[in-house]
Amino acid sequence: MPKPKVYIVTPIDKTGNSHDRFIEAGCDLRIGDVKWQNIAFGDEANRLRFDTDTSALVSVAVRPMLITREIMEKTPDLRVVAKYTVGVDDIDVDAATDMGILVTHCPTEANWAGVAEGVMAYMLALLKKVREKDRRVKQGGWRDSALLGTYLGRRFDGYAGITIGIIGLGRIGARLADLLAPWRVRILACDPYVDESKFIHHDTEPVDLETLLKRSDVVTLHCNLTGETKGLIGGEQLALMKANAILINAARGPIVDLDALYEALQQERISGAAIDVFPEEPPDPKLRLLGLGDKVLLSPHMITSNHNGGIEPAIPWVTDAVLAALRGIVPKHVYNLDAIPAWCERFGGKSLLTD
């Protein structure tokens, strides 16, 4: 029996331990040379190229390298697409589900909780004017009323505090709400897909999107990129926000219309934004948003990149998922649960490994 082919599109295991596990299990391991941290849109050198008898694809979520229906149809032995990341928006998940191909992802705490911590940092940097104060002193200046920050929580002197609006109360949104709890801010949340008990558990007030946008001083996005959320925040939505409000997007770039955001910031219809993700990455150097100075805080899609964190803890998860699938066993952390029945019919109990 030929060895099952496993193709790691975007290798991240610097130790090589997971590679050894694949080889020891009897896999024909192929390792690509894509440097996912620096991949750009339109880079032909990084197009997906692999054998059509590949049984498992492994990669980071890299949107310039889409795993399309066409690619999966040309790979009839493909059992699993395993992602080191939480996000799977570079895969045609619907097509994978139709074909009985499992998509697994890695919602490790180091990954998703890192986003919540990063958002706290972005929020405080903008509200407390951290960058502006630092630059002021370095340039020889001192105190100025333009450097006044925002006090977040309610106080006993009657100050009501600010309102934080969380769009998407999944793992990240819920952790952010928990991090904010000691600050005594009011937290609104919009998520039509979670049970009412979750709002209660995380001390958030459930509201619709329009209400959240109108009432919040900070709006932060934590929803998946789907057909429903693409372009979720455009000119119409930004017009509902307060003039002193800030917008934070550490979810996915296409959720926010950057042209509309530029106009809202440039015309001072909102006061600031923090952006970790872009529709195209890296962004075009001519992107107008890049010229707005301190009105925007920009980050190179690295909010989860922390020492002893990031996506490295996902390496054993991915390895386990692929080996389970190759043994005909449904792995953990399947993203497209609807694909399991068809997958079991095609591959269940049919091992490609000799152990």
Catalytic option among 21, 105, 202, 252: 252
Report the pLDDT averaged over residues 120-124. 98
Name the least confident of 85-94, 146-155, 179-188, 335-344.
Answer: 85-94
Is 111-298 in the same CATH topology as 5-108+311-347?
A: yes
Higher pLDDT, 169 or 304: 169
pLDDT value, residue 33: 76
In tens, the pLDDT along 35-46 reads 655 554 444 444
Q: Where are the domains of the chain?
A: 5-108+311-347, 111-298
% residues pLDDT > 90 (the chain): 84
Query: Has 301 been annotated as catalytic?
Result: yes
Higher pLDDT, 37 or 350: 350
Q: Which CATH class is domain 5-108+311-347?
A: alpha beta
Report the pLDDT averaged over residues 99-120. 95
Q: Give the global pTM.
A: 0.89
Six-digit token pair at 174?
A: 């819920």
Query: Has 105 been annotated as catalytic?
Result: no
In tens, the pLDDT along 253-271 reads 999 999 999 999 999 999 9
pLDDT value, residue 47: 56
Catalytic option among 281, 288, 327, 346: 281
Query: Has 135 been annotated as catalytic?
Result: no
Report the pLDDT averaged over residues 2-26. 95
Catalytic option among 136, 269, 301, 346: 301
Mean pLDDT of all residues belonging to the chain: 93
Task: Give the homologous superfamily in CATH for domain 111-298.
Answer: NAD(P)-binding Rossmann-like Domain (3.40.50.720)
